[in-house]
Amino acid sequence: MSERSIQIVEVGPRDGLQSEPEILATEAKARYIELAIEAGIRRLEVASFVHPKRVPQMADAEALIELLPDRDDVSYIGLIMNERGLDRALATKIGEIGMVVVSTDTYNRKNQNVTTAESIAAWHAISGRAKDNGLKANVMISAAFGCPYEGEVSVERILELTEQVLESEPAELGIADSIGVAVPAQVTELLGRVRELTGNLPLRCHFHNTRNTGLANAQAAVEAGVTYLDASIGGIGGCPFAPAATGNIPTDDLAYMLERSGVQTGVSLEKIIDTSRWLEGELGRGVPALLPKAGMFPAGGQPAA
């Protein structure tokens, strides 16, 4: 059994809710985040600072952050796309910002209204400003395994982008399968090649379960030595600017897989299940995660040594 540990980054409050048709009240979002913290989550992507007309589910970013508990052991991440987003983030108590660079121009334009090169230039400016203001600055390369508009994305393209974003020394590098097309062999190959460029820099992976490969890809990422894995309680969410890009990997199912494999997460499975069931009540429907449906195994127990 492994003695490794992986930190789960909860992205349900941002990536999860941004594609759901329901718009939760700000107070309900704050409770969602509080429940995740009570379950043991210590890093959470809580909001994106984007135009409310493009993503109305995120219109209350500042008001939500104001409601969140101040805890030294919890880090709140705000997603930004440009310097206007950074300006908004700097006016809050957010501790981290995450910048997105999409691997293809077509998808980047739909997501951010600029080319990939323009987003990289923005990242260089944002990284410096964020650090000068005491924020942790991270960057994620999205659509790293495929684009819904341009098709396959080569490993060489991701390596090229990696070299460019590393120039501004991110605190961590993220690799995202934004539309859920990757398979484990691709994850193993790409992360191995990326690691040659990043050295000891922490790597974070973000997978979607659109084609039912998300958990397998997460396992491949664990074996490749990533530090962080994104997941969404209940498995809600997706990208509103990519056709049919549904389904973040569920925090519930990911934590179960890791714990049963001897990989420590610090997350209470029982409390995550309770949070998924609470979320179902707020959304008025079921969520994709399977653990809330099937329950723990052994029932109410912990993995065998």
Cβ pair 248, 258 in contact under 8 A? no
173/205 Cα distance (integer angstroms): 9
The rounded mean pLDDT for the chain is 94
Distance CA 144, CA 157 (A): 9
Task: Using only the alpha carbons of the chain, give its radius of gyration.
Answer: 18
| Domains detected in the chain | 7-294 (3.20.20.70)
Query: What Cα–Cα distance (Å) separates residue 266 from each residue in 5, 8, 193, 272, 302?
Result: 8, 9, 29, 11, 13
Residues in the chain, total: 305
- List, in order, residues 6 or more apart from 201 with CB less than 8 Å away: 166, 170, 172, 173
Angle of helix 116-132 relative to helix 83-90, nearest 10 degrees, comes to 20
The DSSP letter of residue 300 is T
pLDDT given at position 79 = 97
Which tens digit of pLDDT belongs to each residue from 45-71? Answer: 999 999 888 899 999 999 999 999 999
Compute CA 258 distance to the chain's CA centroid, rounded to the nearest angstrom: 17
Which range has the worst mean pLDDT, 17-21, 36-40, 102-106, 275-279? 17-21
> Which residues are known catalytic residues?
239
- What pLDDT is recorded for position 245? 60
Per residue in 104-113, pLDDT (tens digit) is 999 999 999 9
CB 238 within 8 A of CB 19: yes
At 54 the pLDDT is: 87
Is 301 a residue whose pLDDT tops 70? no
Q: Average pLDDT of 145-165?
A: 97
State yes or no: pLDDT of 1 exceeds 60: no
Backbone angles phi, psi at 76, to 5 degrees: -100, 130
* Res 304: pLDDT: 39
Evaluate if residue 41 carries a pLDDT over 70. Answer: yes
